[in-house]
Amino acid sequence: MVIPRLSSLLPCRKWAKSDWLVASIGCVLIVFFLSFFFDPASDSVPSVDRSPTITFPPDLVKLKLSSKAKERGAFCLDGSLPGYHFDKGSGSGSKSWILHLEGGGWCNTIASCSARATTKLGSSKYFEQEVTFEGVLGNDPSQNPGFYNWNRVKIRYCDGASFAGRPEAEFKNETRLFFRGQLIWEAIVDELLLMGMSNAKQAILTGCSAGGLAALIHCDYFRDHLPKDAAVKCVSDGGFFLNVPDVLGDPTMRSFYNDVVNLQGVGKSLDQNRVAKTEPSKRMFPHEFVNNIRTPVFLVNAAYDFWQIQHVLVPASADKDKSWAKCRLKLKECDASQMKVLHGFRSSLMDAIGKFHQSKVGGMFVDSCFSHCQTTKPMTWHSPTSPRIENKTIAESVGDWYFNRKPVKLIDCAYPCNPSCYNMNFT
């Protein structure tokens, strides 16, 4: 491309001072215009559209360490202050709140909690200073139609027990780890109430994975601390963990939860109505208490949840001969006998949610995807390529349920029947 000389762009005549001023301005404008088409670091002229156009950039939301935490004794595993990211609502959403509890597994031994305390899952020292709000926290009305302009909060996860650990368990702890998940939850809720949540007209508590479990554990607490006339509901994403044996018949997940409960004193944070009926470790499984939650609940779950397949059904300890190595990473690699086991896992989920399915106020979206945590990603929450059941995305389904437009009890057929699934491939 040849850049024409300035003289060729203007009439040939003797210029007055005003003409030179106009010409100078014109030159600046030409350089400014051309800078959009040329990369000075490149020998060639690159395309203007170097990446897909983002019409509505996602929020980058700054970290805020809790101001209430220290006085409440609410600390991350390493003793640092917990934190959250808050984006203020606007317009019709100014008195509506959505709280998202971050996930990230659990720690069940002093060693694993000590290791966790040196990461962002156990210490605010390693938190990102800014995070992107997308999916159910997104600010784009085309990607988050129901909740884009609400007050949106992401509560960071740094305790290792689904925001349910208790400090009285720390006397067992010679390395001075802090088991204060319950206090973190309470301190941040108190802080948000002072920031305007006490006047909420609408509110949702949600979370994914360990955060999805936490959303169920703390659902009624959330309801009880908001105005009585507020519409308060809870959405658990990928948090319905199953109490099933692994492929060798061992109770891997139940044993793991037993260790978490005993180490971090989680028992008092769990459903106290079932104390006499079940041991605390069993009460950590949602099917043991979800029907006792007074607040309306919506379950988002993949019937072939990859985290549960890889850690509950086929943990590494149950696959010493590596016969499941490919299948647990990609469903298309599973043989007929393995798929039979996976379909059995799906059947266990159907049995576990059977009574909840009869709830008049509850809702669900259970797809047949090899996925996990589907509400936090635009591609699975609400986009042209999102998973659908009865032609509804997860966002549309949650919206229909929350705003009482229609009952939502969507259960997909078995894999591989749904072509809209976003199936993970770890190979």
Find out whether 126 and 63 touch, Cβ atoms under 8 Å.
no
Helix (H) or strand (E) holding 29: helix 17-34
Alpha carbon of 137 to those of 58, 261, 319: distances in Å? Answer: 10, 30, 37
Tokens of 123: 């210490």
Does 416 sit behind a cis peptide bond, omega within 30 degrees of 0 on the bond before it? Answer: yes
Write down the catalytic residue from 372, 386, 397, 412: 372
Active site residue 250: no
Strands lying side by side in the sheet with 363-367: 130-133, 59-65, 83-87, 151-155, 96-101, 202-208, 231-237, 297-302, 363-367, 409-411
Write down the catalytic residue from 87, 140, 237, 305: 305
Write down the catalytic residue from 209, 269, 371, 397: 209
234: β partners: 205, 297
Q: What are phi and psi of 283, to 5 degrees?
A: -70, -10
Find out whether 217 and 246 touch, Cβ atoms under 8 Å.
no
Q: Please give the full DSSP string across 69-89, using - where no structure is assigned.
A: HHHHT---TTSPPPEEEEE--
What span, in angstroms and rounded, lies between the C-alpha atoms of 268 and 43?
A: 66
Active site residue 372: yes
Catalytic residue numbers? 209, 305, 372
